[in-house]
Amino acid sequence: MSDYPLTIAEAGAALRAHQLSSVELTEETFARADRLDAQLGTYLFRCDESALAAAAQADEDFRLGKDRGPLQGIPLAVKDILSTADCPTTAQSLVLDPAWGQRGDATVVARLRHAGAVLTGKTSTMEFAIGLPDPTQPFPVPRNPWLTTAWAGGSSSGTANGVAAGIFFGGVGTDTGGSIRMPSALCGVTGLKPTWGRVPKSGCVPLASTLDHVGPIARTARDCALMLNAMAGFDPSDDCSADVVVPDYTKALTGSVKGLRIGVERDHHSRAPLVDPSAAACLEAAIDTLAKAGAEVVEVSMSLWDPVNEATIITTFAEAFTYHQANLQRRWADYGVYTRAMVTTGAFYSAVDYVQSQRVRRAGRREVLDLLQSVDVIVGLTAGAGAPPVAGLDFTTALTLPVFTAVWNGLGFPTMSVPIGFTDAGLPVGMQVSAGPWDEARVLAFGDAYQHITDWHRAVPSVAVE
């Protein structure tokens, strides 16, 4: 990949310098998919014809002096849980009514097209963004480009492994309990869950409506900022969308952490079982690097971490069961075994459990807002181990994988995972960084600054090297 742009920003610069065309860039990404997709299970559907037409239009616009912005001519992909006009939407399930996906582009997809992006296809996920890879179902099992016998993480699996392997430059994911950040961490790329309500969810198959987020996955924080500029903003078609001013996120990217107060939250991973010491060592090395670059490191503790985590899990299952109850009664056998087992868990929670969970979430927000009076961001491990093997992946493996993402969905605060190194087994590790509501700019600035002083984000798996 040495002579091929690695990032959205680099590809955009090459397009504007006429070093290559969008058609050439798109053809190259499809050639990579031809070579790698059978190993990685990245795509559910490809949109070669419409993508190449969009690339040709981008080239023509450049020729005419029409520049729609940094995403013009850039190949991106969309998780198959958001509707698109040019290919089906299935939520990787036999259950979803085909008519659901025939509504045209989801709001965020339409915004990316308007920005000139070339949308190459729909990426693999878990069924309805929950459950586990299920080889008994007629869908690809997404694998990790760093070790193809390992899982890519979920549920924005194909988006993350496709970015890591250079099959496209960025993509759209969704995150209800960590589904952007966990696969980003396990695949060694950057993924941002914005503030709840920042990016419209219209045209997105719901999992848990008070926890679902839509956000970007790309190689760098800067690339995520470029995508979020196009994706964010109020849309009245989404009842959860917030009418809050969207800044230009790239203007916050100073490349420096000097004077930044970084709250380090170690409690949850230091006492969690099965944390790989080499993953924890990556976090300590990242913190040391930030301190040497001028950041002020402050120890913080979130006393409500465990209650908020439990409240988020209860909320997820209760809201998912509400959405799926009727179909579970009619089409039980069409659901994958892992999906129906997880979704039906929601039937065992009472209204008291659900209401109490919302109270705990509000208490957790107050606690973290208080913490953010003394620090600018809070950091910790995204996941405390590398990707597990695909073979034998089951509930025991999944539930014991030390992932620390769900709390931030319960709080709804913007949170990003950035790559910070590799375990002793050579698998990627991510650091999670969070800030207060609507402060994606601070999170992105932190990630961008860290990526100015490290190059973990530029590591390329051997499977992607030609």
Catalytic, 21? Answer no
Residue 173 β-bridge partners: 215
- Strand-strand pairing, 296-300 and 261-265: parallel
Residue 131 exposure: Cα atoms within 13 Å on the Cβ side = 25
Q: How far apart are CA 191 and CA 132, in angstroms?
A: 20
* C-alpha torsion sign, points 81, 82, 83, 84: negative
Query: Please, which residues bridge with residue 151 across strands?
Result: 143
- Strands, E assignment, 203-345: 213-218, 261-265, 296-300
How many whole angstroms separate alpha carbon 188 and alpha carbon 417? 9
Q: 107-114 and 221-231 helices cross at what angle (nearest 10)?
A: 110
Instruction: Report the amino acid identity of residue 290.
Output: L
Q: Is 362 exposed, middle or buried (0-12, 13-18, 19+ CB in 10 A)?
A: middle
> Residue 433 and residue 436: Cα distance in Å, rounded?
11
Pairwise CA distance, residues 253 & 451, whole Å: 11
Residue with tokens 């120890």: 299
Given the residues 179, 184, 241, 417, the one annotated as active site? 179
Q: What does the DSSP 8-state code read for residue 171?
A: E
Whether the CB-CB separation of 192 and 215 falls below 8 Å is answered with yes
Marked catalytic residue, from 22, 50, 79, 201: 79
Region for 206 from its dihedrals, namely left if φ exceeds 0, alpha if ψ lies in -120 to 50, beta otherwise: beta
**Number of neighbours of residue 402 by Cβ within 10 angstroms:** 18
Cβ atoms 203, 103 nearer than 8 A: yes
Q: Which residue in 21, 50, 155, 434 is the catalytic one?
A: 155
Please say if 179 is a catalytic residue.
yes
CA angle 310, 174, 446 (to 5 degrees): 85
Q: Known catalytic residue: 79?
A: yes
17 burial class (0-12, 13-18, 19+ CB within 10 angstroms)? Answer: exposed
Q: Are 261 and 375 in contact (CB under 8 A)?
A: yes
Which of the residues are catalytic? 79, 155, 179
